[in-house]
Structure 1
Amino acid sequence: MIPVPLRRAGVVVTAALAALLTLAAPAAAHGADAPDGTDYRAEVTALAPARPGLTVRVVEAGARLELINRTGRDVEVLGYSGEPYLRVGPSGGYENSRSPATYLNQTLAGDTNLSPDADPAATPVWHRITEGQSVRWHDQRARWLESSPPAQVSADPGRPQRIRDWVVPLRAGGETVGVRGTLDWVPPPDAYPWWVAATLGFLAVAAAGLAPAGTTTGVRALRGVGALLALGGLATVAFTIGRELDAGADGAGGVLLGLINGQVWMLLTGFGAIAAGGYALARREAADFALALAGACLAIFAGFANVAVLSRSVVPLIWPATTARVLVAIILATGAGALGAGILRLHAASRAGTRPPLDSPATPTSR
């Protein structure tokens, strides 16, 4: 018969997994087509002429451009035929439904069919898309759309190369302003050392599950795994916030709103690992089960879901790519390691015909 603590833990974990899957579904609408990593680096180099209060930057690892207009006057982004495409100003952000760019920019690949109403020569029909003073959009002028790299990159993929210079025209107060930028090929890193580090970390953490339960060594091992799992949870929270900041979130309020709208499942995974780690540190009943399940969720939903950063030179975080790789390696090692340690301890308990011990040989737990 399954002990009561294990049954309760199973109910909690099942509910948590159901919540994760439910929350993960709508996340597709929030930057779903932004890459987890790429080897093409887009950068904005200048606004010509410069306009105080007007800024443009690349976000989401090059997936989108973001324009922030604090000039107090309307600014228009021009489409691929020079037609008004976006407008942002004191009254908010608007999209021209007659612009072909409105449809071509709906996806990262730019393969959306044009509406019959699309006509770059027609009078603009504006629809509000935001009440704020910033807009974000895919722009084919700043990206490499082909599935295969350019010829010069194929000939020498190990060398950084300039693909092209690009310009996105704006219209501000009757004057044309050019957003100038560059698109470069950046050779990808070798992912092998990162996989080795994650694997060695996994083995080291999982080996703690071999320590005899109910002994001083077992107590220290349980606490050690709990602390490391909590570290993996913190790394997940940091990774999630870093990605949201790269997606254009502004300030604490913007980060929180972005997390709620699209990244809350990752955040819950991280906090769940922290909670399970604390559960193990306190040597509570069913701690082994909590370690195994939280570790599995961490490894799958936060680790393997982001392994692209290990083999891509440009990652969707505000921090350097190396920092992103370190975070993912920690998440993989601690998540998979906690899973392994929890399973080993549960297996040892089942062979002994007992429930998982509390690792407190000297003082029994009061109820």
Structure 2
Amino acid sequence: MGRPGRWLAAAGAAALVVLGGASPAAADPPGPTDYRSVVLSVDPPAPGVELDVIGGDSFLQLHLTGDEPVEVLGYGGEPYLRFLPDGTVEENQRSPARVLNQDRYGGVELPPGVDAEAPPEWEEVASSGRYAWHDHRTHWMNQARPPGREPGDRILEAVVPLRVGDRDVDVTVASTWVPAPSAVPAVVGGLVGLAGAVWLCVRRRRLATVAGAALAGGVVALAMGVWATLSVPAETGPSLLLWALPAVGVVAAGGALAARGLQPPVRAGLVAVAAVELVWWAWHRHEAVVRALVPTDAPLPLDRAVVVGVGVLGVGVLVAAGRLVWATWPGRAPAAEAG
């Protein structure tokens, strides 16, 4: 393998190493959804206990600000979570809810020792008095659409039982099917990305121009990915791919621009790596375009436009970079295209 081939292999290996550690931090992180769950009531009222739903319908969050301990009961009535007045949050490792809540649809088997009747085995999971968890009582538990229902309908209403001090408290949660989002942001984003892709491909651009386009797309995708990551609590396990993919793309494109001492086909290969990361990121987030709710604090029309725009631009960059790899291979490269 020649020197350019070795550089290309090294760049690809580096991307795989980075992404090898970029698997989701939790078994089932919050993702786009068509259902919105809300807390309807807390009966009797429990001052100092704040509840909210995170990610449309993905996670229920409790924040204890009062001076009474709170227990969240699992599906068998067993102690599942315990919130203490000093901010400590503990999880019962023997609660079936702990295992079942690792998957949105509860598709896991209970290991030995996990039993609702077993004495609690507490383990600290937070120290801020705030914690979010999957709770199957708060969302639709089927990948198929609710039968006999349509967008706008309430699809479930259920109770999550708490024990506040020595009182039993019922938290009523309802979930509603949200209508599909407008396609306008995705179309606008796609047109912007297409314009950039066509501009890169209609004639052979200089390497620096193509790398600059990849860098710009990577920076925008990275910003949106970090925004989405910071929009949800860390314990919900937002996918590291939200920011790791565009981060690799930014490094690869930036390296192609900065490392002018490398052979032109190697620099073009780095741009191709950046393009693959952009397309991969857009595919990873494609449900954000079609689902009604997305777990991010970013404006949803902007988020959808960026996902489509970056994906389309990434395809254009990949085509342009491939042409440059071919055109600048030793013995073929016009000097003007290596800039």
- What TM-score comes out, normalization by structure 1 length? 0.76
Instruction: Give yes or no for contact 1:226–1:278 (8 Å, CA) kept in 2.
Output: yes
Relative distance call for 1:91 and 1:351 in structure 2 (3 A) is: closer
Are residue 186 (structure 1) and residue 178 (structure 2) matched? yes
> For residues 196-345 of structure 1, what are the structure 2 equivalents within 5 Å?
197-198=189-190, 201-202=193-194, 204-205=196-197, 207-212=199-204, 218-219=205-206, 222-249=207-234, 263=240, 265-279=241-255, 284=260, 285=262, 286=264, 287-300=267-280, 302-345=281-324
Which residue of 1 is the match for residue 17 of structure 2? Answer: 19
SS at match of 2:89: strand
Provide Cα deviations, 1:213-245, integer angstroms capped at 9, x if missing partner.
xxxxx45xx454333322321232223223323
Q: Structure 2: which 5+ residue stretches go unaligned?
A: none
Which residue of 1 is the match for residue 71 of structure 2? Answer: 76
Cα shift at 1:13:
1.1
Provide Cα deviations, 1:159-201, integer angstroms capped at 9, x if missing partner.
4221133332221121233333320101223669736853772
Distance 1:229 1:237 in 2: 12
SS at match of 1:179: strand
Q: Percent identity among equivalent residues? A: 29
Amino acid at match of 1:316: P
Distance 1:351 1:198 in 2: 36
Which residue of 2 is the match for residue 364 of structure 1? Answer: none
Relative distance call for 1:33 and 1:123 in structure 2 (3 A) is: closer
Provide Cα deviations, 1:65-102, integer angstroms capped at 9, x if missing partner.
12222334421002234432211223632233554433
What is the number of residues matched between the two proteins?
A: 333
Which one of 310, 332, 339 corresponds to residue 353 of structure 1? Answer: 332
Which residue of 2 is the match for residue 149 of structure 1? Answer: 145
Relative distance call for 1:180 and 1:322 in structure 2 (3 A) is: farther
Instruction: Give yes or no for contact 1:94–1:126 (8 Å, CA) kept in 2.
Output: no
CA RMSD of aligned residues (A): 3.4
- What TM-score comes out, normalization by structure 2 length? 0.81
Using the TM superposition, name which of 313-322 and 185-194 deviates more. 185-194
SS at match of 1:125: coil
Which one of 124, 127, 136 corresponds to residue 140 of structure 1? Answer: 136
Which residue of 2 is the match for residue 166 of structure 1? Answer: 158
Instruction: Give yes or no for contact 2:18–2:248 (8 Å, CA) kept in 1.
Output: no
SS at match of 2:286: helix
Cα shift at 1:299:
0.9
Cα shift at 1:139:
1.1
Instruction: Give yes or no for contact 1:37–1:314 (8 Å, CA) kept in 2.
Output: yes
Instruction: Give yes or no for contact 2:188–2:305 (8 Å, CA) kept in 1.
Output: no
Amino acid at match of 1:71: G
Distance 1:272 1:147 in 2: 33
Q: Structure 1: which 5+ residue stretches go unaligned?
A: 213-217, 361-367
Instruction: Give yes or no for contact 2:27–2:102 (8 Å, CA) kept in 1.
Output: no
Distance 2:45 2:335 in 1: 66
